[in-house]
Structure 1
Amino acid sequence: MQESARDPQPFRPPAAGTQPSYDTPAYLSTRARHPTQALVLAPHTVTETTGPRFTSARFPSLADISGTGAQAAQGERIIVGGRVLDEDGRPVPHTMVEIWQANAAGRYAHALDQHNAPLDPNFHGVGRVFSDAEGRWRFVTIKPGAYPWRNHANAWRPNHIHFSLFGQGFAQRLITQMYFPGDPLLPLDPIFNCVPDVAARDRLIADFDLEITQPEYALGYRFDIVLRGRGATPFEEPR
């Protein structure tokens, strides 16, 4: 009998090269941050796996960050949407999805960012939504700008949006970055290229989507996030 999409499937770990390495020499920060000794397994207890409960009642959603009140932020307004899926393509509902990003000039609304680019008083660069019963999520935002980051000579980060996904507790957090199609900085970026496998890297690039695009309002991009398995999205944290 043929298995249905809802039938349990055996866990399929990510293939070698599809997740970023702890130590990537071209990404200079990993020299000081990657483990130099064998990792120690710390089994999760009930505290780590069952709380807190992330709901919109306690963590209000902020799906439109393209301005403040009636004031629009500077830059190109875009819509970014997609689904949270498991390794067999099944939706993962009620997942808290958070984003943070630079503004259209390539500057974060953060005290530590002193890049010589203008701040935008109508763009704070952070958002939060919960996936629905079909795993869908959606943000309205501004396309972020590139910015210099001093990793190497004339280093610029490509346009990108940071993503954080929470499960049922603090120990179930995954972090990744979404990039945009056709960005000429991608082949030069050590962080993007921390993922050795080309097909896995491509899963970090959103697809332009005419169905998400709204006429006379904003272009749309689709970025589906697969939590684990052979087709998993590359994440910055060990899973």
Structure 2
Amino acid sequence: MSQKYPYFLARDRAWQPAQYTPGYKTSITRSPKQALVSIQNASPSERSGPVFDGLEIGQYDNDLLMNFRTEGTQAGLPIGERIIMHGRVIDQFGKPVANTLVEMWQANSGGRYRHKKDNYLAPLDPNFGGVGRCMTDADGRYRFRTVRPGPYPWPNGINTWRPAHIHVSVMGPSISTRLITQMYFEGDPLIPLCPIVQVLKDPEAVETMVARLDMAMSKPMDCLAYRFDVVVRGALQTYFEE
């Protein structure tokens, strides 16, 4: 790897928060109690697979307005503010990461996930599944059509709310290089109040997770667009969850 990328930039570990962060309560149980396992001990399949060349992407896999809707006309569409989420996956030198799998999942416009353990009182949307996937093109570009998720309360504190956000997974060349982050929306006043965001001590790290309104890509009389570029490594890397 060093021969192929002679100017490899190592990840700045100071950019990442401590894995044990009591202010974010679930980190107490989720933080590792044992030493991490070196990737050198992983099997060849873990270091090299999966290969996405033969992955079949459905027509609506990246269109959350359509991929869970009920049969019918306009009444079968999800409820909420329609948006386009798009951007590029690039490396530390600005070069595109092509043909990699990008997955996303989110709450509906009321702030509720389609998950059996989500008991928030907001209703489920029968026409919204909340998950999507796509492959990046040769220029590293990806695109989703969805609804803007709503904020929701969570029991981290007495009155703690998560900002509107979309979870994003970038697979990279293998399962062992998978990176996961969250995309927030520009101008959301809940971002600095979130205990998860507060574990990041560098304001620039927070900014890497904030999508920008992109009027040039918005569709008149249809939906706004938000651009979220993912930098997988280097000085300008996007903050990723450990």
Q: Indicate whether the TM-score tops 0.5.
A: yes
Partners of 1:198 and 1:9 in 2: CA distance:
30
- What's the CA shift for 1:153? 1.2
Shift of residue 16, structure 1, vs aligned partner: 4.6
Q: 2:99 aligns with which of 87, 94, 98?
A: 94
**SS of the residue aligned with 2:206?**
helix
Q: 1:64 is matched by which residue type in structure 2?
A: D
User: Does 2:38 align with 1:41?
Assistant: yes
Residue 209 (structure 2) aligns with:
204
Q: Of the candidates 6, 11, 14, which is equivalent to residue 14 of structure 1? A: 11
Worse-matched range after superposition: 164-173 or 182-191: 164-173
Q: Distance in 2 between matches of 1:49 and 1:96?
A: 16
Post-superposition CA distance 1:22-71 (Å, at most 9, x none): 11221001111112344342413321122221246445461110242542
**1:172 matched residue in structure 2:** 177
Describe the shift of the 1:56–1:136 C-alpha distance in structure 2 as closer, same or farther (beyond 3 A).
Answer: farther
Contact 1:79 1:141 in 2 (8 A): yes
CA distance in 1, matches of 2:177, 2:52: 11
Paired AA for residue 10 in structure 1? Y
How far apart are the structure 1 equivalents of 2:44 and 2:204? 36
SS in 1 for 2:216: coil
Question: Deviations for 1:96-146, whole angstroms, at most 9, x for unmatched residues?
Answer: 000000000000011111111100000000000000000000000000000
CA distance in 1 between partners of 2:213 and 2:161 (Å): 23
Correspondence 1:130-209 to 2 at 5 A: 130-209=135-214
Instruction: Supply the RMSD in Å over aligned alpha carbons.
Output: 1.8
Deviation at 1:76, TM superposition (A): 0.2
Moved more, 28-37 or 140-149: 28-37
SS at match of 1:191: helix
Aligned to 1:105: 110
Q: Which residue of 2 aligns with 1:4?
A: none
Aligned residue identity for 1:208: L
Deviation at 1:21, TM superposition (A): 2.5
What is the one-letter code of the residue matched to 1:24? T
Residue in 2 that maps onto 1:50: 48
State how far apart, in whole Å, the 2-side matches of 1:193 and 1:146 are: 17
Q: Does 1:129 align with 2:127?
A: no
Tell me how far 1:189 sits from its aligned partner: 0.4
Specify whether residues 206 and 151 from structure 1 end up closer, same or farther in structure 2 by C-alpha distance, changes over 3 A only: same
Corresponding position: 1:75 with 2:80: yes
Distance 2:170 2:32 in 1: 24
- Note the alpha carbon deviations across 1:168-225, whole angstroms, 9 max, x for none: 3221211100000111111110112222211111110001111221111100000000
Kindly tell me the number of residue pairs found equivalent between the two proteins: 231
Measure, in 1, the Cα distance between the counterparts of 2:229 and 2:39. Answer: 30
What corresponds to 2:24 in structure 1?
A: 27
Cα distance between partner residues in 2 of 1:114 and 1:8: 47
Stretches of structure 1 that go unaligned for 5 or more consecutive residues are: 1-6
For residue 3 of structure 1, what is the aligned residue in structure 2? none
Q: TM-score, normalised by structure 2?
A: 0.90
Matched, 1:66 2:71: no
Structure 1 letter corresponding to 2:16: Q
Q: Which of the pair is proportionally richer in helix?
A: 2
Distance 1:120 1:221 in 2: 23
